[in-house]
Amino acid sequence: MNITILRFDTIGSTNDEAARQAKLGAPEGLCVVASKQTAGRGRHGRVWVSEKGSGLYFSIILRPAIETRFLPLITLMTGIAVHDTLSELGIKPDIKWVNDILVKGKKISGILAETVDTPTGLAVVVGIGINLTSRNFPPELAATATSIEAEAAHHQEADVEQRLTGLLSYWYETLSGADGPDEILRNWKRRSTYFSRKPVRVTTPAGVCEGVTDGLEENGALRLRTADGTTRVIQAGDVELLRVL
């Protein structure tokens, strides 16, 4: 995948700009990067704090040639790439299903994948936010979020970006290969403590349920084993770790 960077000092949302570029025919591999977002967002329209110089705000256009049922694996693939980027900086991250990267239980990165219909076919815009510094965190985030600056001895934004684009290319090619979905699942399992035996509460559009994680379906959906021994398959939801007393 050929990577092309389109840079902005300030932008509303890198995902929105990438979607606009995709509809105009931009090729796979175009990355929109901004120093600041004025309308950054996460899943379900949540605000993503995007102060200037505080994070890497990054969205990439993909035009995947994989079966539609495997499209959710793009988020897992991206999680692996972010995990490995942070690992190369000497950080020990964890992946919380489905789109959060944690360090010592605190969020350091989030992922937002959105499909876009374009004149040349379906595109997927993958937005990635990585906290570079904690200095501009609002008070309500201080206890739940962390940053590369807080966890690594040295870092430079350009180095983080370069590592991330290289690893995204590698894992995207892996996903696109003959055994791609299985490879992504195997590698996600190795990097996430949330894969199995994790006590969690999951909030879904249908309600809230609790149980223990029990692996993933072939499309990346989460299996949850409840107290009565039944298994629920969660296609979308917010996962919260349950503290064992």
**pLDDT value, residue 54:** 82
The SS3 of residue 21 is helix
- The pLDDT of residue 243: 81
Return d(Cα 226, Cα 245) in angstroms, integer. Answer: 18
Q: Which amino acid is at 183?
A: E
Structural element, H or E, at residue 100: strand 100-103
C-beta of residue 31 within 8 angstroms of C-beta of residue 14: no
User: From the CB of residue 139, how many other CB atoms can be counted at a distance below 10 Å?
Assistant: 6
Whether 196-241 and 4-191 are alike in CATH topology: the answer is no
Task: Please tell me the predicted confidence (pLDDT) of residue 50.
Answer: 61
Specify the pLDDT at position 24. 97
The single-letter DSSP state of residue 57 is E
Residue-level pLDDT at 141: 77
pLDDT, residue 43, reads 54
Angular region, 190: left φ>0, alpha ψ -120 to 50, beta rest? alpha
Token pair for 135 = 């200095």
31 and 4 Cβ atoms separated by less than 8 Å: yes
Token pair, residue 27, equals: 């090729």
Please list the rounded mean pLDDT of every run of 10 residues in the chain (245 residues): 94 95 97 87 57 85 96 98 96 97 96 96 96 82 88 81 96 96 98 97 93 98 96 95 78
What pLDDT, on the 0 to 100 scale, is given for residue 245? 55
Q: Which fold has domain 196-241?
A: SH3 type barrels. (2.30.30)
H or E segment to which residue 166 belongs: helix 157-175
What is the C-alpha separation between 50 and 42, in angstroms, rounded? 11
* Domain spans, the chain: 4-191, 196-241
CATH number of the domain located at residue range(s) 4-191 in this protein: 3.30.930.10
